[in-house]
Amino acid sequence: MPSPPVVAAVGATPIASEHRGGNLRDLMTEAVLDCLADAGMDDLSAVEHGLTSYESDHFNLQMTLGAILHDTIGMIPKPNVRIEGGGATGALALRTAWAHIQSGLCDSILVYGCEKNGRGLSSRTANQLFALSADVDWEMMAGGAYTGFYAAMMRAHMEAYGTREEQFAHVAARNRRNARFNPGAQKPMDISIADVMNSRPVAEPYKLLDCSLLSDGAACLLLSTEAWARAHCPAFHKRAPVYFTATGCGSDTMRLGDRYPELSNFRAKRAAAAAAYAMADISDPLAQIDVAELYDSYSGVEIQAVEDLGFVERGQGGASVAGGIFDLDGALPVNTSGGLLGRGAPVGATGILQAIEVARQLWAAVDPRRQVANARRGLTDTHAGIASISVVNIFERRD
């Protein structure tokens, strides 16, 4: 296997419930220009390939958005591919870009993702469209909704392992507090566990503040061989090289009920982590990973994730989270960006935003109040549906 690709440069817009400064093309343009500035490049003429990352033709009211954005940012006539993988879209896009570089198909690829999930549609229509990503005949039409599926999983976790609502409220409060130190975050809040517990029920046991955000935003990551970055990105040598060293992907049934008897945890996440750890030669993830962005679509999902990623034993997620080991001053800080709960989640950009946060942590380039000291290796965890597709990507600083 050739030397892994490097994160040559990154860029993003602030994440917001509704960007009033422009439409999706405008947001993507701003993120790409931000990435160019980060690279110290004047234009994209040297970049060989494009990769567009977005989920929904419905939310964005535009099909073939990949071709349109590719045109908008001046990548014509270079090759392009659009990736969709539900909530995992951005991470799957990066995994696909990794394969493009590793195969030798190209030495540089611009991964750019965006979504308008914010207030372009009424919450009723937004709920309806998101329900389309469930099984239409057997779940959506019966009255099912993702908040309900996740809630039923969390109930199973609580009944199997004694996990408590206060424990996942810890995640909801901590991630929104972390977002206070991220100027690009959508919903920084200085809230307590009690605030979460007192918020109104949405799908029991989940309450309003246990639920992540609907967001508008765009993000961009330039992935390349190290030699390409040194030749074409004037700013690359100014910071330690960060390599995209490993990627794993797993899948599971669309419907929760088809997973019986396992209802409490994510099989796909275990498979993705196992593949990524094998590639990165990781045997003790809690000790060998310094910082991680986890897919906190709902607060309890982070508890399930720390188990399925092998950070703690099955059933220990609730106690370990509440004990603070994943807080900013803990053994393995997670969701330093604020996560989906605090930073926001414009779907096609989410996995890219997670990778950007990890890269900036490894460069020691974030606000000191959320900076993890001496971070050398970071992980992103991203999934679609109730982890019907799961992607784990690993980044390492080597200097």
Partner 1 sequence: MTEKVRSKIDIHLPQSATAGDVWAGFRQVERIHIELTQRYKYSLGKVSRFFIELEQGRFFATRCAACRKVYAPPRPLCPDCLAVTDWVELTGEGVVKTYSVLHFSPGSNDDVRALETPYILAYVLLDGADTLFPHLLKTSPDLAHTGMRVAVAYSDQPAHHPIHLMYFVPIADSSKTK
For partner 1, the binding residues (CB under 8 A) are 20-23, 26, 61, 124-125, 127-128, 130-131, 137-145, 147-149, 151-153, 155-156, 159, 200-206, 255-258, 260, 263
Sequence-separated (6 or more) residues with CB below 8 Å from residue 126: 59, 117, 214
Q: How far is the CB of 62 from partner 1 (least distance, A)?
A: 11
Residue placing its CB nearer to partner 1 in the complex, 205 or 385: 205
Q: How far is the CB of 145 from partner 1 (least distance, A)?
A: 4
Q: How far is the CB of 58 from partner 1 (least distance, A)?
A: 9
Residue placing its CB nearer to partner 1 in the complex, 96 or 128: 128
HSE-up (13 A, CA, CB side) for residue 196: 29
- For tokens 């030699």, the residue is 227
DSSP for 289-335, please give it. Answer: --EEE---SBHHHHHHHHHHTTSS-TT-HHHHHHTTTTSTTSSS-B-
- Residues 362 and 241: their CA atoms lie apart, in Å, by 9
Residue placing its CB nearer to partner 1 in the complex, 37 or 105: 37
Q: How far is the CB of 91 from partner 1 (least distance, A)?
A: 25
**Tokens representing 173?**
């409060």
- For tokens 């399925």, the residue is 308
Residue placing its CB nearer to partner 1 in the complex, 114 or 358: 114
- For tokens 């419907």, the residue is 255
Q: How far is the CB of 310 from partner 1 (least distance, A)?
A: 24
Residue placing its CB nearer to partner 1 in the complex, 40 or 79: 40
Residue placing its CB nearer to partner 1 in the complex, 81 or 263: 263
- Return the axis-axis angle of helices 65-72 and 24-39, rounded to nearest 10°: 50
**Tokens representing 219?**
């993000």
- Return the axis-axis angle of helices 146-161 and 299-308, rounded to nearest 10°: 60
- Residues 99 and 9: their CA atoms lie apart, in Å, by 18
Residue placing its CB nearer to partner 1 in the complex, 21 or 324: 21
Q: How far is the CB of 389 from partner 1 (least distance, A)?
A: 16
Q: Give the type of residue at 178.
A: N
Q: How far is the CB of 126 from partner 1 (least distance, A)?
A: 10
Cα 156-168-172 angle, rounded to 5 deg: 140
